[in-house]
A and B are shown apart, each in its own frame.
Chain A
């Protein structure tokens, strides 16, 4: 198995195997973000495919010194999903509004699998909600604080505290992982 730097180099050299491996490693995480944003499996799948196509075509633009591959991919996916949602909204507004409502309800009945998992659930509900809105729903801080109906400053502090706690719990998880690895050895 190649390390990630080598994978990225191969990707930039248009190696399809590298794209395939990066897809296997990151597509589920990115799909998790996309589908929570657009709440439509079919469209989420299209956007996911489109995201990786862009990753393939624009691989020369990725600079590993500026951040992780995941961060780059996340931002591509988020932009594509937001663009889709905006275009979709415009389209639907020109047509019958009831269709949109019906569709949203129909989708909502089947969103249990979108429930957030892991350390997020250890956070206080409002911290979790704040992070969910900006991270998984793609809202800007401004939109999110209105959604939560709290002042922008408060909202920002929610995010900060949420991240701080997440960091603690991830560090703990890391410690447990290290102990486990030690024991296995």
Chain B
């Protein structure tokens, strides 16, 4: 299809009337882009076609335009249709809500369970420490009642050991019960020692010093070992934890029984 053929066979008219095949239309459109003269001819025929119609125009009733514009707004409203109530969807929503509630509930219960577990552990620990405390209190009470029994006994004799020149302010009260073979001392008025030394108590039996025990730094009343046939009670300052043999040069007090 060339220019001469197009002009000869009225191809442009056929094109404008919409009678050409799609292929021929494409060929003509391409030629129109290339050929100015052909394009001018095309424009002229097209203008005449339009003029022909304008001359023979017939006014349609106004209702047509009104209907047209109305159908546009109807179309516009169709574009955003109201969401349809889908019962299946609402069941889904309900199911999802329940699942969400259960999930939230589970998380809450899990955290509650963890809290409770912690609380229980704390309570168990407290219980344990309380029972230990109770035990020590019981021990304490036993000791104390035992001491009290000893101190209150008519058979108990009280000896006060006063410090010598090495420790003039020292004072130790000792209670000796030969019947029950008990020795209890009150060490509250012994001067404090440095952390590397302890007071230790000794019994003198026929010239030999026998260990009665280290005087604990943190008890007021404490029981010492009762030694048979002791002639005197002696207190020395010893290295921490006490010694096997008394450091006689550091004897601070003694009393004869």
Contact = CB atoms under 8 A, between A and B. Distances in A.
B154 interface: no
A48 B16 contact: no
B48 A71 contact: no
A53 B71 contact: yes
B139 interface: no
A33 interface: yes
B17 A156 contact: no
Interface string B162-188: 000000000000000000000000000
A30 B53 contact: yes
Interface string B200-224: 0000000000000000000000000
Nearest to B14: A141
Contact of B64 (A20, A27, A56, A113): A27
B24 interface: no
A157 B182 CA distance: 153
Interface string B40-72: 000011111111111111111101110111011
Interface string A105-129: 0000000011011111000000000
A141 B60 contact: no
B68 A29 contact: no
A23 interface: yes
Contact of B48 (A16, A31, A53, A170): A170
A31 B58 contact: yes
Contacts of A31: 57-60, 64
Contacts of B29: 66
Given A159-B10, A170-B51, A135 B17 contact: yes
A133 B69 CA distance: 32
B231 interface: no
A27 B48 contact: no
Nearest to A131: B52
Interface residues of A, number: 50
Contacts of A116: 56
Contacts of A79: 18
B59 A68 contact: no
B19 A140 contact: yes
A66 to B, nearest CB: 6
A32 B18 contact: no
A78 B18 contact: yes
Contact of B17 (A56, A78, A113): A78
B49 A71 contact: yes
B77 interface: no
Interface stretch (A86-94, A96-104, A160-168): A160-168
Contacts of B71: 49, 53
A148 to B, nearest CB: 15
Interface string A12-38: 000010011001100111111101100
B86 interface: no
B48 A163 contact: yes
Given A67-B46, A78-B17, A166-B48, A49 B64 contact: yes
- By Cβ-Cβ distance, the 7 closest A-B pairs, closest first, are A118-B55, A28-B57, A29-B53, A75-B18, A31-B60, A32-B58, A29-B57
Given A31-B59, A119-B52, 10 more contacts: A19-B72, A23-B68, A27-B65, A68-B47, A70-B49, A79-B18, A134-B17, A136-B56, A160-B13, A170-B47
Interface of A: 16, 19-20, 23-24, 27-33, 35-36, 44-45, 48-49, 52-53, 56, 66-68, 70-71, 74-75, 78-79, 113-114, 116-120, 131, 134-136, 140-141, 156, 159-160, 163, 166-167, 170
